[in-house]
Amino acid sequence: FSLRFTLSMLHKSAYVVYWSVLSLAKTMALLLQPFMSLKKLGRVFCTQISAQSSSRLTHTINLPSQLGQPVQIVAVPGLSDSDFRNAIESSLFKHWLKNIQTETGMLSNGATSLKQVLIQGVDMFGKRVGFLKFRADVIDKETGNKVPGIVFARGPAVAVLILLESEGKTYAVLTEQVRVPVGRLILELPAGMLDDDKGDFVGTAVREVEEEIGISLNVNDMVDLTAFLDPSTGCRVFPSPGGCDEEISLFLYRGHVGKEIITQLQGKETGLREHGELIKVHVVPYDKLWHMTADAKALMAIALYEMAKRGGLMPPPRSSSAEFSCH
């Protein structure tokens, strides 16, 4: 009897242990399920990243200034084939490659080398590349270190300092625009980007004035202020060379107008509304311009104009009142 009782108790104990272990196993399975899902998700994610990395778009170019050292052009994952192709073939990228190989370019003396360019972003303006973002791996040969190389490319642009003399006083014409990158309304010179790579700077300047101010200027009355710079500068100004390739040609227009033209321009609303340009015209006394605007283009134009006058470089103003029209 004692033996049967003992076996019976052992059987019951084993039964209890079995169901306890089974219950614990089920509980652990429920607790571990999210982690198993994450592990599975991680495998899928890694597979997708690998697939993207393996299909990354690449292109190789050879530069005359560093023969035998091909440059890899690489697209970030997710950049489309068309955007990658547009970037490589754009005038912005070609202009940058040309600049780095000029007589004063960063590759000219052999102290640095270009290893790779990573195309990070492309903004199309219709059928042309308007903005291009990339990172260039430029190596200082002496130290072997990378030179900071993040580039926001937007290309050449123009701006015009318009000075109108009326009843013995000189006025400057500015535009007020919403500038989203700085989050502010800015008083600035009429300006614009070159729409193509033909290099028609003065023509673009005249066209921008007509679009933004609503006045027509004679091309022959325009004075290229940046032409007074030393030729080694490229006769352009660079407002933000630490991160942007933008190079600006600054022009001057001087004219004589009646007081009614000054009144007509003040507060005028202009711009290509269909392109999102919401522009208001402001006319300010020229002698107060330097402290009424934070626009670098205006301040650079003032400096060039005043220094050129001081150096006797300015041509005499043409009598252009008959060629000035406001609409």
Question: Where does the pLDDT of residue 317 fall: very low under 50, low under 70, confident under 90, or very high at 90 and above?
Answer: confident
Same domain, residue pair 210 and 304: yes
pLDDT reported for residue 41? 37
Cα–Cα–Cα angle for 162, 238, 313, rounded to 5 degrees: 50
Same domain, residue pair 236 and 306: yes
CA dihedral 252, 253, 256, 258 (to 10 degrees): -110
| pLDDT tens-digit series, residues 223-279 | 999 999 999 999 999 999 999 999 999 999 999 999 999 999 999 988 666 666 689
Percent of the chain at pLDDT > 70 equals 77
Same domain, residue pair 305 and 241: yes
How far from 238 is each of 16, 156, 234, 297, CA to CA, in Å? 83, 10, 10, 10
Same domain, residue pair 302 and 186: yes
Residue-range definition of the domain harbouring residue 176: 156-311
Same domain, residue pair 84 and 196: no
Q: Is residue 5 part of a domain?
A: no
Q: Is residue 320 part of a domain?
A: no
| pLDDT tens-digit series, residues 64-85 | 999 899 999 999 999 999 999 9
Same domain, residue pair 69 and 203: no
pLDDT reported for residue 50? 35
pLDDT at 92 over 90: yes
Q: Specify whether the CB–CB gap between 101 and 107 falls below 8 A.
A: yes
Domain boundary at 153, 185, 202, which?
153
